[in-house]
Every structure is written in C-alpha cells, then in structure tokens.
Structure 1
Amino acid sequence: MEDLNRAYQVRKTVLQMLSDRGYLVANSELEQTKEDFKKVHAAGLKDNMRYLKKDDPSKQIYVFFPTEPKVGVQPIKKYVSDMRDHEVDKGIIVVKQNITPFAKQALANFSQAKNITLEQFNEAELLVNITHHQLVPKHVLLLKEEKFELLSRYKMKESQLPRIQINDPVARYYGLQRGDVVKIVRPSETAGRYITYRLVV
C-alpha cells in the first residue's frame, strides 16, 4: 500500500512536470485522486507513458518507470530501442534507486551517438513538486526570438547574463538545456514583482 501511495505522488509530480514543459496532459490525469489511482493500478503499475507537445504534436516524450530497484544497461537499451521505433527523441526514466555506473555511461553515450535525450530522476526527487514551494520563484523559458530580443534590447552577449547550472533542481524539472535563458519572476514588496534572467550553463 505504501508503494502505491509513493507511486501516486511520484506520478502526480511527473504529470505536473510534463504539463509545465508544454506537453498535453489530460486534466483527468492531473486531477486523479489517490483512490482512483489505486483502482487503476491495483494489478500493477504501467511501465511507461507517452505524451505529445501542445504546440507541435510531432514532438513527443516517453516516461519510463522501471520496476527493478537498480537499473542496469539492458533496460536502458530497451527504452532507447522503444524510443527509436516510435521516433521519439526525448525520454525520462524514473528510478527507485540510483542507476548503475555502467547504465549512467550508457545514458551519456546514447545522448551523444543517437541524438536522444534521456533524463534520469530518482523517485525521492519527485515525491514533492519543488516548483510549488513558496520559496521557489516562477521560472519561464524564453523562446529563441525572446532570447534574441532580450540580448538586443540590453546590447549584451548571453555570456554576460547571470547563470543557472544545468543540474539545478528547477532547471532539471523544466528540462532546460545549455544555452537556454529563463525569466525568473519574484514577488517584490516595493515593485510588485522583480524580474531577472538566467543563462543555463
């Protein structure tokens, strides 16, 4: 029962994360109650999910939930094969524990050789949606045109922007890539809101 409670919370965060990244996630999934989740998954959890991008349905993402506690190279090869079969170049693996060093190396190799982005999250990282915490300000990814406009307006190079690390928890949540620029909106007692921009490095 505790496993189902944990799985419910992790999947809820994953669905919110996909929705925040611009993927089509049904409201019925986002608002599914714990009781309904347990009824659907009483016989066992689904191993993977696939979602389409709102603004471009040809862009899809896979989410894999390996059942084994420690994930090795073989499951990763299978996931990459599934992604290639369906022409999907983005994926997320949600693992119960850390993946093996060989599996970590395999992830890096697939990313370079096959142009596949396969992110890895531990369940423990997804038990709570960090973007819902009151101390985490709103982050908005700028489109390429918006980034160009920002740099033109202030007559600056992107290297002059403050930075955010690619492995920052919020950057990982939004799936940010090196070179992306995010707008960070914080509440301000004097100005109402305070806006800064960060370059992902």
Structure 2
Amino acid sequence: MPSNTLDASVFEGDISVYGTTMFIEEELMFNPTSNVLVPKHCIVSSSELQEMKEKGISHDSLPKIYAEDRICKWYGFKRGDMIRIERDYCNEVYYRIII
C-alpha cells in the first residue's frame, strides 16, 4: 500500500552531494534577513579564526547553534562552521559554532 508521506531519509545521501537544503513551506513564507530584529550573520574568515586560536578560544568554548536553525538554513551554513553575529543596535559581536 503506497504511503502519502515523503521519507526525507531516502534523499539524504543525494542532497548532501549537491549541497541542497530542504525547507518546509512555512520557512519560506518570509525572508528572515529582512526583519529588523534579526542581526547580521556571516561566516568567520580564516584570518579571524587564526586570531581566535592565538587568543586561546576554542570551538568547544563557544555557544552552539543548530544547522537546522532557520537563519543557518537560509544562508547555507554547514556543521562545523563558525559564524559571527553582529547586532547593530548595541554594537556587539557574538560567535557561534554550527552543530
């Protein structure tokens, strides 16, 4: 008897090869980057990574953010990436590791 549901695990191997991200329709109803409350997110440069290592800051000591988070999926961040979050209203910078 055929099922009306889609089993995403069937596509996991193929999707990872092509770097494709699957979204639920509700996740695409609005652009999260256009909201004024969402800070700027970007991947940390290799020189910035080196500076952090020299200061003794390790990946393990940083807060985590899930790869399934809407903003991570939107930008295409991958597990293991380090991102910088810049909040304009208070001139602060935060770092997160994608898990």
Please give the alpha-carbon distance, in whole angstroms, between the structure 2 residues aligned to 1:145 and 1:110.
33
Residue deviations 1:156-184 (CA, integer Å, cap 9, x gap): 21111111111111111111011111111
SS at match of 1:140: strand
- The alpha-carbon deviation at position 138 of structure 1 amounts to 1.0
Sequence identity (%): 28
Contact 2:67 2:78 in 1 (8 A): yes
What is residue 120 of structure 1 aligned with on the other side? Answer: 22
- The alpha-carbon deviation at position 111 of structure 1 amounts to 4.4
SS at match of 1:177: coil
Q: Partner letter of residue 64 of structure 2? A: R
Q: TM-score, normalised by structure 1?
A: 0.43
List 4+ stretches of structure 1 deviating above 6 A: none
Select which of 31, 39, 44 maps to 1:129.
Answer: 31
What is residue 6 of structure 2 aligned with on the other side? Answer: 100
Please give the alpha-carbon distance, in whole angstroms, between the structure 1 residues aligned to 2:24 and 2:66.
19
SS at match of 1:118: coil
Contact 1:183 1:195 in 2 (8 A): yes
RMSD over aligned Cα atoms: 1.8
Residue deviations 1:137-163 (CA, integer Å, cap 9, x gap): 1111112332222232x2121111111
What is residue 14 of structure 2 aligned with on the other side? Answer: 110
Between the two proteins, the alignment pairs up a number of residues equal to 94
Please give the alpha-carbon distance, in whole angstroms, between the structure 1 residues aligned to 2:65 and 2:29.
23
SS at match of 1:185: strand
Normalized per residue, which structure has more helix?
1
Contact 1:137 1:185 in 2 (8 A): yes
Q: Partner letter of residue 144 of structure 1? A: S
What is residue 69 of structure 2 aligned with on the other side? Answer: 168
Establish whether residue 177 from structure 1 lines up as the match of residue 64 from structure 2: no
Contact 1:151 1:158 in 2 (8 A): no
Q: How does 1:6-155 map to 2 (within 5 A)?
A: 100-101=6-7, 104-111=8-15, 115-152=17-54, 154-155=55-56
What is residue 90 of structure 1 aligned with on the other side? Answer: none
